Every structure is written in C-alpha cells, then in structure tokens.
Structure 1
C-alpha cells in the first residue's frame, strides 16, 4: 500500500512539471553526476600519484641505508623523523626480540616486522605517526634474518592532497551551476521545435485556422524533431485542404439548394390556394412541384454520397466488370430510349477471369453509380441518332473502360474543371443536372484505386477513361 502511495505522490509531481523543466533537471543531474565523478576520480589519482612518489623516495632511501649500514646491528641507523628537513630515519630490526637494543626502537615494531625479518612476509608500506607527525614507513628485508624500516614525514604529500581536495571541491561547486545552465540550454534548444509545434497547435485550436505552419530549420539540419514538425505541417496541409473542401461544398450546396427550394416554396404556396386555380394551373404546379422535389432529393443524395471518403470494407467483393457494364448499359437504354448505346467488351474479359483482368475488388452498387453517372452525362450531350460508345478493354492486363459521346465535346478552358463539384460549362447550363455527377464519379473511382480522366475525343465529342489498377481505398479525392 505504501508503494501505491509513493507512486500516487510522484505522478502529480511529474504532471506538474513541464517537459522542458524535466529535461533540464535530467541533463543537470547527469552533467553534475559526471562532474562530481570526475572530481572524485581526480582526487584518487592525485592522492595515488603523491603517495607513489613518496613510496619511490622510501625505496631509494632504503637502498642507501642498506648500503651504509651493511654490518650494523639492531637499532637506529640514521636520522630522526621529527625534523621536516631531516633525511629518512632508518633502523634494523632482528627476528628475535631478545636481540633488540636496550633503549628500544625509534619506529614502531610489530609482529609483521618480525615476519619480514624472518622472510615470512613480503615488504610493505604503512602510515605511522612519529613524534606527533604523520609519516610513511617501508618495512623490507635485510641481511642475516633482519628487517630494515625506513620512514619519511608525509607533510608534503598531505599538503598536496589537501590543496588538490580544495581545488576539486571548488571545481565541483562551480560545475553544478554550469551543469544547470547547460541543462537549461539543452532543453531550450532541443525542444524549440516542440515548443513551436505546441504553439502552432494551440493557435490552431484557438483560431480554428489550419493555415498556420511550423517554421522548419534550413536544409541539412534535419533531425527527429524536425521530421515530426514536417509531418505535422503535412497533416496541417491535409487538414486545411479538407476544411477548405468542406467549406466549399457547404457554400456550393447552399447556393445550389437556394433556387430549387425557392421554387418549391413558390409552388407549395401556389397549391395552397388551389381553389383559385384552374385545373390546368393546378396540374402544372403539381407537376413542377414533383420535378423540383425529385431534383432536390437527387441533389441531397448526391451530397451525401460525396461526403463519403472511402468504401465500406464489409461490402467489398470481386466484381465482374463485363456483367456490371452490360447491366448499366441496359439501364441507360431504358432511361434514355432516344439515345443508342454501342457496347463492346474484349473477348478475354467476357469470361470475367481474374487473371485476365475481368474482375476488380469493389462495391457493386457504388461502381454501378459511377457507370450510371458517366452514361447519363454522355447521353445528355449526345445528339439525336448518334451513339454513345462504351468499350471495356484490358491493356497491359489492367481493365480500362471508355465512354465516348459525339456531342459538342469539352472546351479547353473547361477541361481542368470538369470534375469539380457544381461546375457546369456554359454550354450545359440549360440542361438538367446539379453538376455533381462527374465529381461523384471521380470520387468513387479513386476510392476503388482507379483513375477517371476526361479528354476531347478525336473527331468531336467527349471521352471519359476509367483505368483500374490500384488498391481499394488507396486514393481519395473529391474532384
């Protein structure tokens, strides 16, 4: 239970600290830890080096004392360690305590000293205190079962260690504020793109304007944060395009609905005073009201279809294009009895083989709607007596559908806008329709991984080409 309590107390602390503060604290702690570790390591190295120098001096002094006192008996050989400027003090210690001098030894003698004298222990260094002063002593073997002890005062070594300690403490104390400044600088510099990204997101949330972008560094200085900012800018571009398309759709829809709704209201008000109208006037008003209702219903249905971004996956199945095309052409002949439709399907596609390109994954109802829109558009512009030519082929193993009429064709200035929502060329404004059929056809095509294009047909007329070949849902667009 106490563990949960500690986590519960720590979590609010982390939530209250912004990312920049946490990063600065982490960098400060890391740099401070490294600085303090370097200071400790430097202290140990300096201390070891100074004692190594002292030990080398003891070794040299022991060699000189051994040469001078080669035949000396037990007792002091040279010097007194109580004087700072005096040379090393030395004495000879026998293995047998009974041979010790009556006045005793200057340096401390213990069991380990007797073991070195007897050859049972290796020479060693030790820190001692002589006459109230700190000293360093070397105990080594001597001739004829004796040990030699040599000592030097350690004042210079201790003074050097103390001075190094203070310098390292001051360095460490200065290193902690420096580490804090470095932590702040790293957090400020490293999180600058994240700060800009956050500010842009907050600005977009406040203004609801997706046109804002994050400023990116110049080329050659990209990193993970820069790629994140670039991805965020790309997302903002897609969002801006989507919002713009949505606003344009709403504006166009409101504009297109205003006229039929006004006519509906006028005819409804007229029929409300039916007792004042002649039978012929009532019949005309009733027929106009029915046509306008169908027009508004079709326009609303088209708008609902255009609002869909992709095909519902549960409805996707393998669709035989030849059968779908034959059914669509038969329906178009019924709807446009005065327009002849010429259908041609490549022989290798009639069997509907998947290997030959005769089937594609898709939603049959949506593909039927696409085909119906293309056929209705062609029949609407086709002159009396001239056919609408429909052909299904598979160049390169990929199915391709073409629909061609022999009407006035598409003007060069209208060609880039054929698939725009509510766009109607000057030559087609007097014809029925809302201007959404081709936009819907392209959206359905792209949702099925196909591409729908328009071009001027050789010899006159318009040619629409539907080429399959992508994955279902691989591309979206509203035209």
Structure 2
C-alpha cells in the first residue's frame, strides 16, 4: 500500500472511529431519554388515576371515571389472582408475575418491558372503594406501546448512519487530497533520487513552502551540493595529480632514453660529467615522484575517515617533527618554545602536518637562517602553533590560495615540492576541529599559525 493510500485510510479510520463514538453516544443518550419519558408518562398517569375522586358505582365498587378516558394506553385493575376489577371490559395490558406481586402487596411498584406485546408495563398498588366504605387491595396496571419510541430510535439510527457514512467518505476524499498535496515534495524527492541514480545529474530540487517536507528538500539539496563538491574535488585532484606527474615523468623518461641511447652500438658515448648530471637528475625526479605519491596517499588517508583517535600531547608531536626537520636542515637554527598541550586526535596526522610546516619553512629559509617555532595556549580552549621563517614571504595575492591542493606560487615552482604539503596541513587542522592561517612574519618572512582545541597538559 502506498503512503498516499495509507494516509487516506488513516484519515477515514480516524473519522469513522470518531463518528462511531459520537453516534453511539448520541443514540444511547436519546434511547435512555425516550424510555425515561415513557416511564415518566406512565408514572404520571398512574398518579392521576389513583388520586381522581370521581367514581361510579358498579357491583359495589367505586372506580374513577378518569379510567374510561384513557384511550392511548392499555389499563386494568387487578386483584391478587390477576382478575380484572373494572365494571366494563377493556383491552387488558400484559399481566405477569411482577404485576401480581404488586396486587398482593408483596411489591410496591414494578415497571418492565413486555417483549410479547412490545410495550412498557407499570403496576402500582391501588385501593378500590366499596359500598360499605372498606377498601380491597388491588393493582393498577397500565401499559404503553413502544412502537412510536422504537420508530423514533430507528429514524435516528438511520440519520446517524447516513451522516456518519457521508462523513467517512468525505474524510477519505479529504485525506486523499491532503495526502496527494502533502506528498508532492516527497514525489519530487523520489524522482530526483531516481534521476541522480540514473544520470548522475546533481541539480538541486525546487523548494516550495517552509514545512517539514520543505526542510527535507533543503537537506537533500545540501546533500546533493556536498556530493557535487566532492565530485569536483575528486576531478580536480585527478586532473592536478596528472598534471604534476607529467613533468617528472617526462623528464625521467627523457633522461632514461638518453642513457639507453648512449649504450647503443656505434652511438656516441656520454662523458662522466654528463652521466653524473643525468643520474642526479634521475634521482631528483624519483624523489619528487616519491614525495608526490606520498602526499597523495596522505590526502586520501585524510579523506577516508579511518583515523585512530586517542589522547595526544601536541608538545611531543612538535618535538618529534623538529627532530626530523633538524636532520634535513643541519645548517638552520631552530628557535623553539613549546608548552605542553593535550588533545584527542591522530598523532601521525598531526606530526605530518607539523613536519610539513617545518619543511615549508626550511625550503624558503636562507642559509644559516632561523626558523622560529612557538606553541602555547591562547586562553580560550585553544593552543596556537606558529612556524615562522626568514624567507621572501608570501605575496598578498597568494595568501588566499596557499592551502589549495597543487597550488604553487611563481617563486615555489622553481623549488622541489608537490603543492600538497599545506593542503595536508589544512585538512588535518579541520579534521581536529581547528584551523590554519598564513601571514607575514615581523622579520619579513612567512608565518603559519595552526590553531587546535585541547587542554593544558
């Protein structure tokens, strides 16, 4: 069953239940009220008959003349044996054991429904007068047919059934219309999902209204935007990686072809100096390829969320990265001030990010220059790691793009590197809930600031 059909059925069932409860309540209320009116009428007439002083004589009994004016109900006066005491024959009401009990003074009153004649029967004690002035015990029995009452109740039931049925039908139609209108955004989402699965088209879905379904559409559009952005990042990564790999591979191929050509028969041989230069160039290209592939692997590792989160001492991470950086740049001086700082994260990812910042400072620092490293809390739940060099600095137009993948300024293109080191730093910072900024150092070089949350150790 479709969701639209379920909504329509739910509306119809709810209205049917409400109509049924109201109808049953109304029917029972009217039923009780009508039967109570019948009983009240019988009691009132019985009281009038008992208290009527006008009598006529017949065989010594004194019977109120009011009895003979009863035309719409059946009546009789009976003794304890059930015999009629009226002087003239009348259409007798049903006589049963309850009425005999009243006539014999063993019961003060009885009222019941006689199913054989479909009437309501009332019996009350009655004392009839005689010529000698004494009174005999008897019972006044009056009965009123229930057919008018039942006809009224039957008409009421028909009216309730017709109105209730019409209400249920209208509720089903209204539920169908509401479901069709309310589920239209869901249909658009379904069609969009099928379109994305079929064609890969990530265009957003038009949004109308401000209800929950509209917010669901906005969330779906945000998801489509995130998927489109991820696809664009992937496309740019593949394109940029292919572009960066092309240069070292071309140079490597040229050098290898030159070496192979020199080994061919009758080919001019290369001098030792040329061979050394070619071998050095090949080793440099292999190092560049190795670094580029390592950076790509690191980026893919950062993109995949399989990182081991554990308590990390950022001070220890910085010291370990400094040990590796000092071995790479023995001629540089490192001015280091590190305060303990702990956070939850991945020690390997953080060490790679710090090492990339140090490698970038080493790359642009002049010989015998100084790289300044500072780590300390800022007082707002974050710690700041600053790495500053004494190099040429970063141009203002390059500052917004230094953390982009494969971006290299005009000055950096002549130096070794893949253009992925700072992108790895940015990704690690964002993964740990921090940020990284680039700026100008007071000494004229570049300064990179890595801001990470945590607590003092």
Whether these two folds match at TM > 0.5 is: yes
**Residues 127/231 of structure 1: CA separation in 2 closer, same or farther (3 Å cut):** farther
Corresponding residue for residue 215 of structure 1: 207
Cα separation, 1, equivalents of 2:274 and 2:367: 32
The match for 1:178 among 147, 170, 173 is 170
Instruction: Report SS of the residue matched to 2:9.
Output: helix
**Paired residue secondary structure (1:458):** coil
For residues 375 and 204 of structure 1, the distance between their equivalents in structure 2, rounded to whole angstroms, comes to: 44
- Counterpart for residue 109 of structure 1: 95
Q: How does 1:323-334 map to 2 (within 5 A)?
A: 323-334=316-327
Q: How much is the aligned-residue C-alpha RMSD, in angstroms? A: 3.2
Instruction: Tell me by how many angstroms 1:104 deviates.
Output: 8.4
Q: Deviations over 1:344-368 (max 9, x none)?
A: 33xxx3xxxxxxx444444443333
1:70-91 deviations in whole A, cap 9, x for unaligned? 876689973598xxxx343322
TM-score (norm 2): 0.82
Q: C-alpha displacement at 1:228, in angstroms?
A: 4.3
Structure 1 alignment gaps of length 5 or more: 1-16, 350-356, 472-479
Paired residues for 1:15-414 under 5 Å? 17-68=1-52, 78=67, 86-97=71-82, 106-117=92-103, 118-120=105-107, 122-127=109-114, 134-143=118-127, 145-213=137-205, 215=207, 217-218=209-210, 222-223=211-212, 225-275=213-263, 276=267, 277-279=269-271, 280-307=273-300, 308-309=302-303, 312-314=306-308, 316-319=310-313, 321=315, 323-345=316-338, 349=339, 357-396=340-379, 398-414=382-398
How many pairs are equivalent? 433
| Cα separation, partners in 2 of 1:99 and 1:152, compared to 1, 3 Å | closer
CA distance in 1 between partners of 2:419 and 2:143 (Å) = 109
Per-residue deviation at 1:419? Answer: 0.8
Structure 2 gaps, min length 5 = 56-60, 128-135
1:433-458 per-position Cα deviation (integer Å, ceiling 9, x unaligned): 11111111122233334322211222
Q: Which has the higher strand share?
A: 2
Query: How much has 1:158 moved relative to structure 2?
Result: 3.3
Question: In 2 relative to 1, CA 119–244 (structure 1 residues): closer, same or farther, beyond 3 Å?
Answer: farther
1:329 and 1:108 map into 2 onto residues whose CA distance is 116
Deviates more, 1:426-435 or 1:171-180: 171-180
CA distance in 1, matches of 2:222, 2:156: 58
The residue matched to 2:246 in structure 1 has which SS? helix
- Separation in 1, partners of 2:417, 2:199: 38
Do the aligned residues in 1 keep the contact of 2:308 with 2:345 (CA within 8 Å)? no
Aligned to 1:3: none
Alpha-carbon distance between aligned partners in 1 of 2:278 and 2:227, rounded to the nearest angstrom: 45
Distance 1:399 1:40, change over 3 A: closer
What TM-score do you get using the length of structure 1 for normalisation?
Answer: 0.79
The 3 A distance-change label for structure 1 pair 189 and 111 is same
Counterpart for residue 130 of structure 2: none
Larger radius of gyration: 2
